[in-house]
Amino acid sequence: MKFKLYIEYNGANYAGWQKQKNAKTLQGTLIECIETVFSKTKGMNKLIDFQGAGRTDKGVHALEQIAHLECESMLAPEILKMKLNDLLPSDINILEIEKSDKRFHARHSAVSRQYVYVISKRRNAFEKRYIWWIKDRLDVRKMKEAASLLKGMHDFASFSDNIEEEKSTLVDVEEIKIIETNEKILIRIRASHFLWKMVRRIVGVLVEVGRSEINKETINNMLASYTGNYTRYTAPPSGLFLEKIYYHDN
């Protein structure tokens, strides 16, 4: 049996998605709950594999993470969802569970991923864990012009850390939009995949453009050849949300 899970979570209290031996993670917490449900349910129940579509970093949130659960179980999706949500902490919620094709893989079957980053223009008493408050007034027009340079297939090595661990630093950015409201600036990025800290580095660089500290030529240079000079321009994880995973059928 294989299930497809739609999950939302507040990542502020977790060391990222991926299971680790000595840290509280989202994947680890979910696996513990799945195993507890199976152990307390009559009949043959066994967890075989549980993986997510995106390995979000420490402090990063998800509006809709996708995971697959391969198991031996006769539990119906709605019953499994109910039992898991009863056990999960309040900062993790399973939105939906459905049966999937046995060939479905949450990560490898994905064709693109979409993140949204939230910048606040004002100090906020309630949303500190979910925004990046920037005191400076940002020139959003300049940010939009700079963002347009990032669209398409580029080498994003300058926008990532630990590039020696990546098979390739080429990424196809399908869409990048900047939306301004009265109180917030939203940066939405959809791409084939993302390198480690890539979204946060893009946001950090665009903010410096908005501050008029760097210009479009700097971004062209970053795309043309690797430079580690801009690691300090990495946005904090608090404002970053995994928004959607795209597959061929959606």
Angle at 43 between CA 40 and CA 44, to 5 degrees: 100
For residue 101, indicate whether it is catalytic: no
- Are 243 and 188 in contact, with CB atoms under 8 Å apart? yes
Tokens linked to 135 = 């005191």
Which of 57, 101, 136, 249 is flagged as catalytic? Answer: 57
What is the C-alpha to C-alpha distance for residues 79 and 1, in angstroms, rounded to an integer?
A: 15
Bridge-based pairing of strands 240-246 and 61-72 is: parallel
How far is residue 34 from each of residues 4, 56, 216, measured CA to CA in Å? 14, 20, 48
What is the C-alpha to C-alpha distance for residues 224 and 33, in angstroms, rounded to an integer?
A: 46
Measured torsion, CA atoms of residues 131, 135, 139, 145, in degrees rounded to the nearest 10? -40
What is the C-alpha to C-alpha distance for residues 198 and 240, in angstroms, rounded to an integer?
A: 11
- Are 163 and 225 in contact, with CB atoms under 8 Å apart? no
What is the C-alpha to C-alpha distance for residues 170 and 166, in angstroms, rounded to an integer?
A: 10
Residues involved in catalysis: 57
